[in-house]
A and B are shown apart, each in its own frame.
Chain A
């Protein structure tokens, strides 16, 4: 157990290190003078000079590399090209907003899929099961920007029930969370169903049934508990996936999250903000990954890692 955590931590550090190298390379992969890129196209010459000196862009590449590492490890991603605020100050509130969106979407997806998946397995190969299968298939094949636009048209423009844009009240959460959550729920439902079908075909289920346990107990007590292990992993993996989906969802609904910040930074060529948002997204993915691995081993000690 301890060995696992240590090895995963080493992996994490390695990943973070590669990530930083990549971000450093970003300066040199994107054509142009790195100091000018950092400062922004409109920056006066004295500012470009001071950045060149501060980041040592005039020094050899290796020196630059270590300097950059040092800066980033101190949390210094520089200033936004345009608003001239520290990147950290811009990114942190956005992380909270993205977490709120992804968290709610995950909750929605988990509850929906557990309910639908279990019932689907319970009524295996019956009309209910087939209906759920078809609906979840449709869900998987419809990208969030299609569901989002249709949602906006129906609920905001046509019926005028729900607001769009921003996140000031709970009503603002409904459409983005439903859009992102529904897509995730479709994926989860299929897998929860598979896990449950599998669990229900086991010998101990037959035994339980033979003992005369009611079907509800069989499904929700015996089968679900046994299917829970893969399902937990699945949800863990799904969290990373949901965060990825939030990029598009945030753009559709003008959600002030990290994903939209990243897209805006690309379209506005704001390299420091772009680096900051990539870095924090990546750190979140690495952390999620670590937690899933540890959770899984903890839940089932028979799994060992090489």
Chain B
């Protein structure tokens, strides 16, 4: 009854690659992008490792060839970079008569510049240009202006689950025929604000993170952006578009347990996964692989594991966290891992949960820790955040006769 929605374009920028091909390559050879801090100017520089994109603000602006007179935030630049790729790979154009929208996600918006210029806002005439780049919608508007998008735009922020929710909302806009194509995803740059914030929570690992490992000590932050182009299945087929994946199911649930900690029984994550699978019209047994949220914090991995066991019983499908490659990219993490999930599915490979050695006794779940061949028809990806915001999305393989690949 409801109209299907498919992915017709992808774009991604993170510490493991500046485009889809580079990302795939890093995942295949098991190369992490996490390392010593060299871009972010923080007193914690030597204390932590980060998934940084190794380009300065100036280098980013030059690389993208953007108007240097505009007040760019790093968040906006990363967003523009990934969104351009998605737009081009889907073959979109603004004079096609199609209604094109943009639904982007971000957690701290333009904080990367605000935290540098905050004390100058009242005195420095040049810095004042950055007063209005602070709000979370700024990067969305910078991307929209770069791609000349006018038909619809909005921004979502639900902490670390933000960009999975932009996929959901975008799919709804298509199903209600309010748009013909929608660019969905998110962008977040590293900032001292988030590094220090997570540090006060004492959930940052000083070493490389070890998701789902018994000795895990916390997460590594990262930065990046990712966007998908979504279109209705019928339009994509009529337009003989390349169809990359189907957005089969999605759900958003709230743990309603505690502001930062997740519940012992993993209720929110359980509901998000269960409802997403139901929405896809499949059963839990049909899920071939899960790209888990797996941040490497004590609390998340335990809860996520408990929730997976509740849904899948003793038949938990092969799963891995790819955060030891990219770091936790906050508002971008949902879409970045969606792209990784799609790459996994379309290449029939499970990318490894690197740094895993020792199983967590309480849940006794072993992630896939080596690159593994696996036939994947349906992939589930999770993102959970503060405020109890939990989201899951199911992507399904496109039948080979219509994929156009």
Decide whether A and B are members of one complex: no
Residues of B in contact with A (beta carbons under 8 Å apart) = none
Residues of A in contact with B (beta carbons under 8 Å apart) = none
